[in-house]
Amino acid sequence: MEKIGFIGLGIMGKPMALNLLKAGYSLKVYDIVAPAVNEVVAAAESSDVIITMLPNSPHVKEAVLGKNGVLEGLQKGAVLVDMSSISPIVSQEVSEKVIEAGAVMLDAPVSGGEPKAIEGTLAIMVGGPEDTFNRVKPVLEVMGGSVTLVGEIGSGNTTKLANQIMVAVNIAGMSEAMVLATKAGVDPEKVYQAVRGGLAGSTVLDAKMPLALEGNFKPGFRIELHIKDLMNALDTGHNLGVPLFLSGQVMEIMQALRVDGKAKDDHGGIIQFYEKSARTEVRRKS
């Protein structure tokens, strides 16, 4: 059984690491915000597979390429699996350094938020060599309900950006529609039940609408992190010559919420922007 080093124990990383422990894997864990960050190299030296689950591109570059980072202790033949959601270009840059060190990297971002991280049912999108993917797939399957190789290194994060665009636009659409229905005097819970079985139904709707009806915006995935993902999506789109009109609109909605002090709310809290604009609240009737 592979020995695993796990770096990054935030909202997502902690339950993911716990699921690996429950499955019987030997883990050395470190968190980037702790003093132990200077000992990250030790995790690499004693691990066959190193998993990073960090907030953004700079954090991954620092943890892997920085002083006392993963690269300094990386064993030849080891696998670095970066499960952070970062720029595909950065994934490719880090991978080049990892290959030079005699190891291999996969980019394997996830979708599903804290609930699915706890359940071990995340959707994991992987980029990298197929033989390496097959080697670590049993490890990934402990954390994910679906584990899919989508292409070469960087493809995982490109897929995650596409995922994040669809999720953000879905939540915004749900919010806009439900605020309209509520202000028109229709019970939003009944609207939800009426549409969820039809074409407008979605995993996003079923995950976020019940929480919105309770006014519960405790973070499973914070608005500030979704802003980061949409910024990476917009940068990638601009570099490729792909206009991302809807992504830009939802980004500005999220930026408005950030200014309003709601950056750490769940991204389902997008509905609060519409509620404030329309001066109405979408809540379950008592």
Q: Do 47 and 78 touch, CB atoms closer than 8 A?
A: yes
The pLDDT score that the predictor gives to residue 36 is 45
What phi and psi values does residue 66 have, to the nearest 5 degrees? -75, 180
The pLDDT score that the predictor gives to residue 40 is 66
pLDDT of residue 34 exceeding 80, the answer is: no
Give the residue numbers annotated as catalytic, written as ranges: 160
The pLDDT score that the predictor gives to residue 46 is 80
Across the chain, mean pLDDT equals: 94
pLDDT of residue 254 exceeding 90, the answer is: yes
Strands 79-82 and 104-107: parallel
Res. 37 pLDDT band, cuts 50 70 90: very low
- Higher confidence at residue 36 or residue 210? 210
Vertex 105, ends 104 and 109: CA angle to 5°? 160
Give the C-alpha separation, 66 to 91, whole Å. 15
Give the C-alpha separation, 164 to 269, whole Å. 15
The pLDDT score that the predictor gives to residue 16 is 96
Model confidence pLDDT, tens digit, residues 84-117 = 999 999 999 999 999 999 999 999 999 988 889 9
Task: State pTM to two decimals.
Answer: 0.90
Please state which of the ranges 28-42, 215-229, 236-250, 254-268 shows the lowest mean pLDDT.
28-42
Model confidence pLDDT, tens digit, residues 129-151 = 999 999 999 999 999 999 999 99
All residues at 6 or more sequence positions from 260 whose CB lies less than 8 Å from its CB, including other chains: 272, 276
- Domains by residue range for the chain, with CATH: 3-151 (3.40.50.720), 158-278 (1.10.1040.10)
Please state which of the ranges 24-38, 76-90, 174-188 shows the lowest mean pLDDT.
24-38
